[in-house]
Amino acid sequence: MSAITIAQKDFQDAIQSWMLLGLTAVFVVFTAGAAYVYIALGAIGGGGEVSSLALINFLSGLTVFFIPLIGLIVGYKSIVSERESGSIALLLSLPHTRRDVVLGKVLGRTGVVFTSAIVGFLIAAGVVVVLAGSLSLGNYVLFVLASLALALTFVSLAVSFSAATRSSTLSLVGAGTLTSLFIFPVIWSLIPTLVRFILNEYTPLTLDMATQPEWAQFFVQLDPTAAYSNVLHVLIPDLTSGPLAGAGGDVPFYLAPSFGFVVLAAWIVVPLMLGYYRFNSTAL
Amino acid sequence: MSAIELTNLTKQYGDVTALQGFDLTVEEGEIYGFLGPNGAGKSTTINILLDFARPTSGDTEVLGHDAQAESKRIRERAGVLPEGFDIYDRLTGRKHLNFAIKSKKSDDDPDALAERVGIADAIDRKAGGYSKGMTQRLVLGMALVGKPDLLILDEPSTGLDPNGAREMREIIRAERDRGATVFFSSHILSQVEAVCDRVGILLEGELVAQDTIEGLRDTTSTEATLVVEVDRVADGVLDEVRTLAEVSEASAEGTTITVSCEDSSKTVVLDTIEDAGVSVENFTTESASLEDLFASYTTDEHHRPADEADQLRDGNSQSDGATIQSATGADGSTDEDTAGRP
């Protein structure tokens, strides 16, 4: 499988460039460090199930910010830098299709992020077990899985821009802009408010979903970091977070928390398809 | 079946026409030299063969496959040394070769390949530290992976020293003898002349000639150029020479007389000059090289590159006074002279 071969080469390159090691260090500092600080500050009271949830809640508040950033940094140069240097000519003179290149890059870079994230989360778990005595393993694993899905989403997004552009600056601007819209959730949530303002609708200055029309609520759910929170909420129902956690009763399926899975999947697939389409239709 | 079959290949970039609808055929098992000055469209053509760029119109068939629809099939059977490539600085030569071996699902031995292209001692070093010539050798090694049916080499001798260029030619010949077709572009004419079975000359996006080197000589000029160093150019000596049936052109500059004549008539020309009361101090001859053929296509008037004239003057100081540059004699010995040509 051609894409796997490319992914392996990319992974080797990441090892040689210290990217893997650096990223692992970042993850260890962030997750294990955050867990340590959280526990050391005495935020965990009694221990056991509830405190594990509180810890996951706390960690997810961080991951939602820094995992997208890492996805962006790892992905935005992946293809375009090969185009800029000319190594893409070497890559594509071997029997790989451009689809293999896009897929291989996503796999390779995701592999790098996954490896370092898993190491970071494992060490964080160790820190928690040692300091707090216990950790709800099932919930923690689900949290890690959801976080990996978030990582894959932002790696794909950045690789898509990297496939679609000819300059890494442009790729960074494109992927960076979109990523910032999502990691500062207020910005994305304000877009429907802004639209309603332009349309001269009555717009209370609030982020309370219930007061928004349905389309605006739906729009807000399209934020992949919101989708991540929703997915977490579905996977770990006891978790209090998630923008739709309060929305109970009869909501349309696209406003249900489980729609977060669809949103994440869409953010993984659709940009990649567009990026590939653009990459495939241009000369090298 | 032809290895490469281009029909009415056209490529336009906006208003600029890079390729003006030419046909080109490379037969299986031959070494085909693709010649042309920089900007003629050689790399554009090769990029189209590899589906790096798409033609505006025309058919491109490589190894019986359509270059756009079945590009991967082509690249499974072709070895490529592309133009303007870069290697992966952080990966070793071995990792590069292994990547090519894996990509081509081959079972070649990276050490044997490295040995063949002369980088065996550097195989475990990071390729980022390689010189330009070593990089070129590494990528040639990658191109040889899996015994390709077709080798596409874009300016293969770039960055190689004369020795490296000779080894490159030996590999090209060995690959042809194995049964592979070799298609390579160059503006270094002695390279092409020394190894090619056939050449095509691309000029401003048009294939102005496609023939064997012998064939090109026949259709253009079989004349030799005779450069005679004399003590003085007497009045009328040029007219005397021009009246000879074998002479097509004669001119003088300072104490140098340049005569275009049939190869066999040198003695007659020299005798005529001496008969006019001029003493010949030295002379050199040169049979029509590919460079002359090339020049006759690529310029409107007969054009002699300045550095070649230098070479001829240098020849005058030699004791026998005659240097003959020919297709067979050019192997290896002229690379140094030609390497710097644009």
Residue A258 counted as domain residue: no
- pLDDT for the residue numbered A55: 86
Question: Tell me: the pLDDT tens digits for B237-289?
Answer: 888 888 887 787 888 888 888 888 776 777 888 888 888 888 888 888 776 66
Q: Is the pLDDT of residue A262 over 90?
A: yes
Yes or no, beta carbons of A94 and B142 under 8 Å apart: yes
- When pLDDT is cut at 50, 70 and 90, the band that residue A237 belongs to is confident
Q: Is the pLDDT of residue B97 over 80?
A: yes
Q: Which residues of B touch A85 (CB under 8 A)?
A: 86
Q: Which domain holds residue A122?
A: 2-182
- pLDDT for the residue numbered B331: 37
Q: Residues of B40-76 as b/e, b for ≥16 C-beta within 10 angstroms?
A: bbbbbbbbbbbbbbebeebebbbbebebeebbbbbbb
In a 13 Å sphere around the CA of A59, the CA atoms on its Cβ side amount to 33
Yes or no, beta carbons of B76 and A95 under 8 Å apart: yes
- Name the residue among B172, B101, B87 with its Cα closest to residue B131: B87
Is B140:B168 a contact under the CB 8 Å cutoff?
yes
| Range among A189-198, B162-171, B237-246 with highest mean pLDDT value | B162-171
Residue A59 counted as domain residue: yes
Is B43:B18 a contact under the CB 8 Å cutoff?
no
Please state, in angstroms and as integers, the Cα–Cα distance from residue A123 to each residue in A112, A118, A129, A247, A270, following that order.
17, 8, 10, 35, 34
- When pLDDT is cut at 50, 70 and 90, the band that residue B227 belongs to is confident
Is A109:A140 a contact under the CB 8 Å cutoff?
no
- pLDDT for the residue numbered A43: 53
- pLDDT for the residue numbered B317: 35
- pLDDT for the residue numbered A193: 79
Does B95 touch chain A if contact means CB atoms closer than 8 Å? yes
What is the nearest CA distance from A254 to chain B, expressed in angstroms?
Answer: 40
- When pLDDT is cut at 50, 70 and 90, the band that residue A209 belongs to is low
The number of distinct structural domains making up chain A is: 1
| Residue of A83, A85, A94, A103 to mutate when probing chain B, most B C-beta within 10 A | A94
Query: What CA–CA distance (Å, rounded) separates B168 from B140?
Result: 9
Please give the CATH architecture assigned to the domain spanning B218-338.
2-Layer Sandwich (3.30)
Q: How many CB pairs below 8 A link A and B?
A: 76
Question: Tell me: the pLDDT tens digits for B302-323?
Answer: 333 433 333 333 333 333 333 3
Q: Is the CATH number 3.40.50.300 carried by domain B2-212?
A: yes
> What integer is the mean pLDDT of B292-309?
52
- When pLDDT is cut at 50, 70 and 90, the band that residue A244 belongs to is low
- pLDDT for the residue numbered B305: 40
Does B132 touch chain A if contact means CB atoms closer than 8 Å? no
Q: Which residues of B touch A95 (CB under 8 A)?
A: 72-73, 75-76, 103-104
Residue A26 counted as domain residue: yes
Alpha-carbon dihedral of residues B289, B294, B297, B303, nearest 10 degrees?
A: -70
Which of A13, A93, A94 is nearest residue B88 as measured by Cβ atoms? A13
Residue A109 counted as domain residue: yes
Q: Is the pLDDT of residue A276 over 70?
A: yes
Query: What CA–CA distance (Å, rounded) separates A89 from A76?
Result: 19
Q: What is the DSSP letter of A278?
A: H
A98-132 vs A49-75: helix axis angle to the nearest 10? 150
> What integer is the mean pLDDT of B55-79?
94
A214-221 vs A259-280: helix axis angle to the nearest 10? 70
Yes or no, beta carbons of B85 and A17 under 8 Å apart: no
Query: What CA–CA distance (Å, rounded) separates B190 from B128?
Result: 30
In a 13 Å sphere around the CA of B131, the CA atoms on its Cβ side amount to 9
Handedness of CA B185, B191, B196, B200 (dihedral sign): positive
**Would strands B150-154 and B78-81 be described as parallel, antiparallel, or unpaired?**
parallel
- Identify the contact set of chain A against chain B, taking CB-CB distances under 8 A: 2, 5, 8-9, 12-13, 16-17, 85-87, 89-90, 92-97, 283-284
Yes or no, beta carbons of B47 and A284 under 8 Å apart: yes
Which amino acid does the sequence have at A274? L
Q: Dig out the tokens for B119 from the structure.
A: 């980088």
Yes or no, beta carbons of B82 and A90 under 8 Å apart: yes
- pLDDT for the residue numbered B301: 41
- pLDDT for the residue numbered A123: 94
Q: Dig out the tokens for B118 from the structure.
A: 């002369």
Q: Dig out the tokens for A61 from the structure.
A: 């508040």
Domain residues of chain B, as ranges? 2-212, 218-338
Q: Mean pLDDT for chain B?
A: 81
What is the nearest CA distance from A190 to chain B, expressed in angstroms?
Answer: 42
The secondary structure of chain B in percent helix, strand, coil, rounded to multiples of 5, reads 35, 25, 35
Q: Is the pLDDT of residue A52 over 90?
A: no
Residue A272 counted as domain residue: no
